[in-house]
A and B are shown apart, each in its own frame.
Chain A
């Protein structure tokens, strides 16, 4: 099974809302990633968790808060977002830094 699942598929939220994105994998991977992708642009790395510890935070605003409750699950908590945060949010996992990255289908986020 090489599947990474993400929920929800679509999300519309106002600037005062709090919501969460969820990512799950059951491949035993110990590295998990959040990316943000704007239209017609490549994905941009946001956060990396390695062995359930945050190892990379690419200067992401504090209105995005990642969480890794266990080795299979990765959350991204959203609060007080701006319209420019509207994008496709992708989750990925890999065995380690030398392994193949497997991506989920993404969550399409629209901030009004």
Chain B
């Protein structure tokens, strides 16, 4: 079974700092990897989707990379803002509509 791990579990940074969140997965046979953010008690908001054939995707201040062979993805957030404070989750999809979530990174950006 696919295991997805995110490091660190929690991160606190001052406003304006650039930061990197990590996601690793055990089975490289994936269709895609998706990054989400979740605010407390709320649903998930999709941030970026990287297909297995792609190396990276960018949206505004966010850049996600994928190294499928090594089972790793990173989410880079530039010039962090207090509004970026949330839990960030990565998820990988495999055959048969299977979808596995990582353990999450709780981010706090301090004004």
Contact = CB atoms under 8 A, between A and B. Distances in A.
B34 A100 contact: yes
B93 A97 contact: yes
Interface in A27-78: 31, 33, 42-45, 48, 50, 55-56
Contacts of A43: 44, 89, 101
B96 interface: yes
B43 A103 contact: yes
Interface string B43-72: 111100101000000000000000000000
Nearest to B95: A97
B41 A102 contact: no
Given A90-B43, A104-B43, A106-B42, A42 B95 contact: no
A15 B11 CA distance: 39
Nearest to B9: A40
A48 B94 CA distance: 13
A97 B46 contact: no
A50 B97 contact: yes
Contacts, number: 60
Chain A interface size band reads 20 to 34
A33 B99 contact: yes
Interface string A73-112: 0000000000000001010100001111111111010000
Given A42-B89, A42-B104, A101 B99 contact: yes
A9 B101 CA distance: 23
Most buried by B among A101, A102, A103: A101
Contacts of B34: 100-101
25 contacts: A42-B102, A42-B104, A43-B89, A44-B101, A45-B99, A45-B100, A48-B96, A48-B98, A55-B97, A92-B44, A97-B93, A97-B96, A98-B31, A100-B49, A101-B34, A101-B46, A101-B91, A101-B93, A102-B46, A103-B43, A103-B44, A104-B43, A105-B43, A106-B42, A106-B43
Interface of A: 6, 31, 33, 42-45, 48, 50, 55-56, 88, 90, 92, 97-106, 108
